[in-house]
């Protein structure tokens, strides 16, 4: 008889069972393991957490990806009740994602507040709570959480992109808060909010203008001007903002900035040409010697101050030949500015009282005297060139005070109705205008 052969297993029976169990567990894990990581909300709630995970987490995730938020929420709620820590936390994160996707972000914020303080938040939790903030009109909180999510998962450019997308709205929200703080007198708080907004934005013209507006409200006009000028340099700033910036530059005596701003406006709109010329003159005056600058800026210009300004602006006056000594003004002989005053008197630019022989150097310059000075300077300048038509009908020396004012106003040298006395700024602008009408001696001008 043949002996019947009995086939024995390669492994002892207990070991075979163990191997079978290992294969079975591996198969289950393969079936429920996360797929390729997503780059944007929602992220797999299991990411960054230690397993194992209940199958309910995988089922909830599949439902969420399929758009079944109700089914996903149901599955994630089951996972939350799991005794496994990883499953419970993944279920809670998944529940937040389901609430956000079903337009119940306000409800999700409560769970976010709890989970964000429990352990180290994962990128999935941070992005879910960030999206909840974004969808409840809290872009500031959303950017903060998305930035943290991008740091927790640096290989996900989509998270950083979403943070960047929200930054503009966040900067606007911060500037709204800053404006309210400034209006309430909380200047330091407003300044911090502005700095934070600028740190989050790409420093666009719109953002910079709003930052300038807040600083204006807070009273820091120097910083406001910095923001306005930066916005203007980037382009796309409307005329009203540029004009406001130019006016602030004037107020701060930053005449170089004022000239730059108004020159740019004048290049597009001739309406700003006069303001641009005023800014350029102010810039030049700011670089004049002390005495001449003080005279040009004085609110009460004296006759001696007017003589000094004429001496400074017109080389033709300094170098003119005196044809007749005329009447000597006794009250200027001992003055430090006697040379300047004597020249003005000898050329007939300032009248001397024939009875007292006084030129009254410290008396206010009247509008009549200022107009006569300018008309006489024009007649002297016209000896080397044509006389502009606006001077037609100008009176002779010492005559027609009212007519001299009319001619000066016609030539835009003085205002016809600006009070009996003339200030340094008005007189200096008139001299500058007069200089422009006779450009022949421009090369000799000492600006």
* Residues with Cβ within 8 Å of residue 271, at least 6 apart in sequence: none
Q: Indicate the range of 197-201, 206-210, 281-285, 373-377 predicted with least confidence.
A: 197-201
Query: pLDDT for 309-365, tens place per residue?
Result: 999 999 888 887 776 556 788 999 889 999 999 999 998 899 999 889 999 999 999
437 pLDDT more than 80: yes
Residue 271 token pair: 């309406």
86 pLDDT more than 60: yes
Class of domain 37-155: mainly alpha
Distance CA 354, CA 321 (A): 23
Domain extents in the chain: 37-155, 167-286, 290-444
196 pLDDT more than 80: yes
Query: pLDDT for 353-367, tens place per residue?
Result: 988 999 999 999 999
User: Are the CB atoms for 116 and 144 separated by under 8 Å?
Assistant: no
Residue 446: its pLDDT value, please?
38
CATH topology match: 37-155 vs 167-286 = yes
Mean pLDDT of the chain, nearest integer: 86
Place of tokens 């666009």: 204
pLDDT confidence bin for 30, thresholds 50/70/90: very low
Percentage of the chain modeled with pLDDT above 70: 88
205 pLDDT more than 60: yes
Residue 24: its pLDDT value, please?
37
Residue 127: its pLDDT value, please?
96
Q: Indicate the range of 7-21, 32-46, 118-132, 245-259 predicted with least confidence.
A: 7-21
Helix (H) or strand (E) segment spanning residue 93: helix 85-101
Distance CA 81, CA 380 (A): 102
Residue 36: its pLDDT value, please?
67
CATH architecture of 167-286: Alpha Horseshoe (1.25)
Residue 172: its pLDDT value, please?
87
Query: pLDDT for 224-261, tens place per residue?
Result: 999 999 999 999 899 999 999 999 999 999 999 999 99
Residue 306 token pair: 């007017």
User: Are the CB atoms for 317 and 311 separated by under 8 Å?
Assistant: yes
More confident residue, 419 or 160: 160
């Amino acid at each position: 008889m043949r002996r019947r052969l009995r086939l024995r297993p390669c492994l002892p029976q207990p070991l075979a069972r163990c191997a079978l169990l290992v294969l079975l567990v591996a198969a289950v894990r393969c079936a429920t393991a996360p797929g390729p990581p997503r780059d944007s909300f929602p992220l797999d709630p299991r990411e960054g957490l230690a397993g194992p995970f209940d199958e309910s987490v995988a089922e909830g995730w599949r439902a969420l990806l399929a758009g079944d938020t109700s089914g996903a929420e149901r599955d994630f709620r089951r996972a939350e009740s799991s005794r496994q820590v990883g499953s419970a936390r993944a279920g809670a994160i998944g529940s937040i994602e389901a609430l956000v996707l079903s337009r119940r972000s306000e409800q999700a914020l409560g769970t976010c507040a709890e989970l964000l303080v429990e352990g180290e938040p994962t990128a999935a939790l941070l992005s879910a709570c960030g999206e909840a903030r974004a969808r409840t009109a809290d872009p500031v909180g959303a950017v903060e959480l998305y930035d943290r999510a991008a740091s927790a998962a640096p290989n996900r450019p989509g998270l950083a992109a979403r943070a960047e997308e929200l930054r503009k709205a966040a900067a606007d929200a911060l500037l709204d808060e800053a404006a309210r703080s400034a209006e309430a007198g909380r200047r330091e708080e407003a300044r911090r909010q502005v700095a934070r907004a600028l740190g989050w934005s790409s420093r666009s013209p719109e953002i910079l203008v709003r930052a300038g507006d807040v600083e204006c409200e807070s009273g820091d006009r120097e910083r406001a001007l910095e923001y306005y000028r930066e916005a203007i340099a980037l382009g796309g700033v409307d005329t009203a903002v540029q004009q406001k910036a130019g006016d602030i530059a004037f107020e701060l005596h930053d005449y170089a900035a004022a000239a730059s701003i108004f020159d740019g406006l004048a290049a597009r709109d001739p309406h700003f040409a006069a303001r641009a010329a005023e800014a350029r003159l102010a810039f030049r005056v700011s670089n004049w010697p002390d005495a001449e600058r003080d005279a040009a800026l004085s609110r009460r210009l004296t006759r001696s101050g007017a003589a000094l300004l004429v001496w400074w602006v017109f080389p033709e006056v300094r170098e003119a030949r005196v044809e007749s000594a005329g009447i000597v003004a006794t009250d200027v002989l001992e003055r430090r500015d006697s040379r300047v005053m004597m020249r003005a008197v000898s050329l007939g630019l300032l009248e001397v009282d024939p009875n007292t022989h006084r030129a009254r150097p410290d008396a206010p310059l009247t509008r009549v005297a200022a107009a006569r000075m300018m008309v006489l300077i024009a007649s002297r300048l016209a000896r080397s060139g044509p006389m502009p038509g606006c001077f037609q009908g100008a009176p002779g020396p010492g005559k027609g005070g009212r007519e001299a004012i009319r001619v000066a106003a016609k030539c835009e040298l003085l205002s016809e109705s600006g009070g009996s006395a003339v200030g340094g700024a008005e007189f200096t602008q008139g001299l500058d205008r007069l200089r422009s009408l006779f450009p022949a001696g421009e090369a000799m001008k000492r600006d």
